[in-house]
Amino acid sequence: MSEAGATPKDQEEFVKQAQASGMEITEPDKAGHLLLIDLDDGNMATFSKRLKMLDELEPILSVVYKSSKTKGHKHALVTMKSRHDFEKRQMLELMLGSDPCRAIHNLRHHRNGSKYEEILSSPKGQWADFAFKDEPKQKPKPRGDEYDF
């Protein structure tokens, strides 16, 4: 069956097959803080810029990432300070550059009542921290000669 007519049962079968082939399945947390990002272009500089912009409006607590099974693609998990429902998570994911086709499939699975309305299927392994925030600039320690007396 093509993805266009995918049913909840198809999504459950996909998850079983992915796990059987050694893939790690990541789902959003129940509280609604976690965004699942599928960066098909793998452009981490653009992703970082978007994270900084979003963080000014919607505080971000942490970001981790790893390579997708597809060469050049990346997956990222963004933990937001605030809780967000399904629709807002999808909007935020798209704003950060996540694959729009994946968002359409997520919406289909959500509306069809799938057990897995949104997932990321990634190779097993560690997620790396992604530092997107600028480090605070530290003032140099006074040497004693910069004061006017």
**Residue 67 tokens, joined:** 């390579």
Whole-number pLDDT of residue 2: 42
The helix/strand/coil state of 8 is helix
Q: What pTM does this model have?
A: 0.83
Backbone angles phi, psi at 144, to 5 degrees: 105, -20
Region 61-84: what's the mean pLDDT? 95
Q: Rounded to an integer, what distance in angstroms lies between the CA atom of residue 111 and that of residue 117?
A: 8
Confidence band for 38, pLDDT divided at 50, 70 and 90:
very high
**Residue 120 tokens, joined:** 């990321």
Whole-number pLDDT of residue 1: 36
